[in-house]
Amino acid sequence: MILRVAAISLLTAAIISSGTCWGAEPPPVLGQLDFPNSGSADAQPHFIAGVLFLHSFEYEQARASFRRAQQVDDDFALAYWGETMTHHQSIWGVQNQEAGGAVLRSLGNTPEARAAKAPTPREKAYLRAIELLFGAVKESKGRNKSEREILYREAMRELHEAYPEDHEAATFYGLSILGAGKKNRDFVTYMRAAGILIEVWDANRMHPGAAHYLIHSFDDSTHSPLGLPMARAYSKIAPAAAHAQHMTSHIFLGLGMWEEMVTANETAFKIEVNGTDEWSREASHYVHWLHYGYLQQGRYRQAERLLETARDRLHKNSSARERGYYGTLYARHLLETGAWDSMERWVAPAGIDIPSPNFYYAQTIAAIERGDTDAAQEFAKNVKAGGAGNPEVVLGEDVAEVLQLELRGKFALAASDKTTALTFFREAAARENAMPPKFGPPSVVKPAAELLGDLLLELGRADEAMAAYRDQLVRTPRRAATLLGLARAARLSKDTNTEANVNRQLWRIWSSADENVRETITRQSAEN
C-alpha cells in the first residue's frame, strides 16, 4: 500500500509543478515533493497542492486545497491534518486554536477516533503531533501556545528520527524548531534548524519548504550569504506563490542586493493583488519592503508614488495592519529623502489613527529640522514601545529606547549642545549594536550608528565618523545613506581609496536613481 501511494504522490507532485492541465485550469507552479500517504488516488492532486501552498505560507489556498481533498475522500486523515496546519502560522506567531480544533473534530470527536482513521503508524504520528500543537490531547490541553509549540517540536523530532527518509517529516521538524525559537532569535537555534533542512534541500532542489525555511534560518546580515542559493532558486521553484517571491528578498536585503530585492517585491505584489485594486493582508507587507528598496535605489519618485497610493487607501475602517505599515512608510520616506517640508503633505487623512511610533518619530525629527521644537516635543510623547499591525512595525522596548535616545540627542542639537547630543547618539548606537539580529528593513528607522556618524562628520571628526559608518554597514550592508556618509568622511580624511570604492558602490546602487539623486555623487566628488 505504501509503495503504491508513494508512486501516486511522486506523480502528483510532477503534475502540480509542470503546468499540465489539472481540471479546466493549469495547476499553479509551486514546487515538487513526495509525501506518501493512504488517501485515495483522486484526492492526491488536491492534497499535494495543499502541502505545496502550505510550505509557501499561502494559507488560504492551502486550506481550500485540503478541503477539496476531503470532499473526494472524507476519511483522508492527512487532509484534515493539513487543513489544521493552516491555522498554525508559526513564523508569524499566529495560531487559531479554536479553528484548528474544529477541523480535528470534523475528522473525529476524540483523539482515538481520529487516530483510527490514520491507517499507518507514520500517519498516526503526524496526527499525534498536531493534536499536541492544538491542545487536543491531555498532555497539551490547558497549556499555553509556547508550551504546546515545544511539545509539537519534540513530537516532530521523534517522527523525523523514526522516518529519516520522510522529507516532509524533516521539513516540518525544521520549521517547528524555527517556530518554537522565534521569540529568542539565536544563531544556535537557527543553525539547528538549518542542519535538518539542508538535507532535504540537497536531496530535492525543487522543494519549496526546504528553500523557504532555510531562508528563514539564514535571515540576518551575518548568515545571508549562506541563503543566497536558496533565494535565487525559490522564486523559480514556486512562481505562483506571492510569498515565495517576497521571501527571496529577505536574503537580498541582508546582502544589500537592492535590484533583486525590488524585483522580488514587485513580483510578489503583482501576484498578490492579481490585477485588482484590493490589497490582501500581505500586500502591505510587500509594499513596506518595496518602498524601502526604492529608497535605497534612489528612486524617490517611485517611492513617493507608492506612498501616495498607500495614503489614498487609508480610511477609518482600514485595518490596524495597513495603518501601522503606513506609519513606517511615512517615517522612512521623510528620513531617507530629508524632505522635511513634505511632513504635512504625507500625514494621514484627518480622523485616521496611525498606530505607529515610527510615524511620530519622523514627525518629531521633521519638526526639529524645521525649527519647531514645541511641536516636536508634542510628537515625541508618542514615541514609545507598541503600535499595531505586523510585528516588524510594532516597536519593542529595546527599539523604542534607542529612538528616544536619538530624539534626546536631536533636541540637544537644536539647543546647540553638540557634546550632549554626541553622548546620546553614542549610547543609542551601543544599544542598537547590542540588539539580537532582526530581519527586514532596519527596525530603528534612522539607524543609530549612521546618525552618530552624521554628527561626527559635522564635528569634523572624520576618522571616527568612518568607524561609525562601517559599524552600521555590518548591520545594514550597502545601505545608501550610510555609504554616502562614509564617502564624505573618507573625503574629509583624504582616504581616496575608500572614497573611490564607496562611490563606485553608490553608482551601481543608484544606476536607476532619480537624476537629482545621482547628481549627489558628482556634486560631492567635486567639492573641495
Give pLDDT tens digits for 321-330: 999 999 999 9
Backbone torsions φ then ψ of 395, nearest 5 degrees: -85, 130
Task: State how far the alpha carbon of 446 is from the alpha carbons of 90, 336, 375, 386, in Å.
Answer: 30, 8, 20, 18
φ/ψ region of 338 (left if φ > 0, alpha if ψ in -120 to 50, else beta) reads left
Q: Where are the domains of the chain?
A: 447-528
pLDDT at residue 255 greater than cutoff 60 = yes
What's the start-to-end Cα distance of the chain, in Å? 80
**C-alpha cell recorded at residue 61:** 489556498
pLDDT in tens, 232-246: 999 999 999 999 999
State the chain's mean pLDDT as an integer.
92
Adjacent-strand bridge partners of 386: 395
Which pLDDT value is given to residue 527?
65
d(CA 395, CA 416): 29
pLDDT at residue 280 greater than cutoff 90 = no
The DSSP code for 186 is -
Q: Tell me the CB-side half-sphere exposure of residue 332, using CA atoms within 13 A.
A: 30
pLDDT at residue 497 greater than cutoff 60 = yes
pLDDT at residue 254 greater than cutoff 80 = yes
pLDDT at residue 7 greater than cutoff 50 = no
| Three-state SS at 25 | strand
Tell me the DSSP string of 211-225: HHHHHHHT-STTTHH
d(CA 285, CA 439): 13
pLDDT at residue 437 greater than cutoff 80 = no
- The CATH classification number of 447-528 equals 1.25.40.10
Adjacent-strand bridge partners of 89: 94
Which pLDDT value is given to residue 390?
87
- If one compares 26 and 35, the residue with the highest pLDDT of the two is 35
Contact 509, 480 (CB under 8 A): yes
Least Cα distance to 399 among 409, 387, 410 occurs for 387
In three-state form (DSSP H/G/I as H, E/B as E, the rest C), the secondary structure along 259-313 is: HHHHHHHHHHHHHHHCCCCCCCCCHHHHHHHHHHHHHHCCCHHHHHHHHHHHHHH
Alpha helices in 338-459 (DSSP H): 357-369, 373-380, 397-414, 418-434, 448-458
pLDDT at residue 16 greater than cutoff 60 = no
pLDDT at residue 252 greater than cutoff 90 = yes
Tally of residues, the chain: 528
Task: State how far the alpha carbon of 237 is from the alpha carbons of 170, 207, 302, in Å.
Answer: 19, 7, 29
Backbone torsions φ then ψ of 78, nearest 5 degrees: -70, -20
Q: Per-residue pLDDT averaged across 217-222, rounded?
A: 91
Query: Residue 184 — very low, low, confident or very high, per pLDDT cuts 50/70/90?
Result: low
Q: What percent of the chain has pLDDT over 70?
A: 94
Which pLDDT value is given to residue 234?
98
Q: Which of 241-245, 435-439, 441-445 has the lowest mean pLDDT?
A: 435-439
Contact 325, 284 (CB under 8 A): yes
Q: What is the dihedral of CA 92, 314, 291, 213, to 10 degrees?
A: 10
Predicted TM-score of the model (pTM): 0.92
Q: Per-residue pLDDT averaged across 520-527, rounded?
A: 73
Helix (H) or strand (E) holding 89, with range, is strand 88-89
pLDDT at residue 13 greater than cutoff 60 = no
Top mean-pLDDT range of 26-30, 76-80, 177-181: 76-80
Query: Residue 525 — very low, low, confident or very high, per pLDDT cuts 50/70/90?
Result: low
Which pLDDT value is given to residue 21?
37
Which pLDDT value is given to residue 528?
46
φ/ψ region of 396 (left if φ > 0, alpha if ψ in -120 to 50, else beta) reads beta
Q: Which residues contact 338 (CB under 8 A, 6 or more apart)?
A: 369
d(CA 495, CA 491): 6
pLDDT in tens, 311-356: 999 998 999 999 999 999 999 999 999 999 999 999 999 999 999 9
- If one compares 257 and 528, the residue with the highest pLDDT of the two is 257
pLDDT at residue 150 greater than cutoff 70 = yes
- If one compares 350 and 183, the residue with the highest pLDDT of the two is 350
Top mean-pLDDT range of 57-61, 181-185, 520-524: 57-61
